[in-house]
Amino acid sequence: MSIAELGPLGFDGGQGVFNGVPEGATLTIEPGVKIYLHENATFAVNGVLNAVGAPDNMITFTHANCFEHWGNLYFTGEQASESTLEYVRIQYSDDGVKGENAFPHRIANSIIRKVGIYGLKIALREGDHQGIEVVGNTISQGAGVGISIDLGPGATIPQITVRENELSNFYNAGVIIGADEDLTTTPQVVVEHNVFENGFRGIGGGFSAVG
């Protein structure tokens, strides 16, 4: 599936504002593509999104109106966890990337900036998931948490890796990983070589299953 096949919801300055990826579909976004979203609009991914830009030609999700924030990239459904974001710029959204029982298995070398609350907000309450790898990103300027990962007792995930990211200017913690209920299995969690600047807190976490 291409951007053109999604069909536009509306236009702003000749640019399409798109509805996302339906279940059963795979959307590949090429380097250099810019997607403009209107106030509170969510780019929902129920299928697979492969957005892989290049160091000098990033893919951009941004606001259609300079006075408005759009919603977020929202991943849900089993297929959405096969998605990849790399060399992507996400800016001026209420939250950067959110997931409900789904999340891209890899987010790397991307810029997430000037968000309302969260940079990445992941809630996995049930289902079997691939490992999550968040590597080499710059995540900055939000009122909440840079990276928040919340696991529920019905979720199984082998590994969570948060490595070599730069997080700055978040009012709350840079990274929070935890579970508010007992987990069936506890993932291997690797948080290393991240840089935290100009924030009130660094890393928080806890797994009730392991005390």
> Which pTM does this prediction carry?
0.88
DSSP tally for the chain: helices H, then strands E: 1, 24
Three-state secondary-structure class, residue 198: coil
Alpha-helical regions (H) of 37-90: none
Instruction: Read off the pLDDT of residues 170-188 as tens digits, 9 standing for 90 and up.
Output: 988 889 998 866 777 889 9
Instruction: Read off the pLDDT of residues 58-99 as tens digits, 9 standing for 90 and up.
Output: 999 999 888 889 999 999 988 999 999 999 999 999 999 999
Residues 6+ apart with CB under 8 A from 4: none
Alpha-helical regions (H) of 46-97: none
Distance CA 21, CA 111 (A): 22
Distance CA 20, CA 6 (A): 7
Of the pLDDT bands very low, low, confident and very high (cuts 50, 70, 90), residue 198 is confident
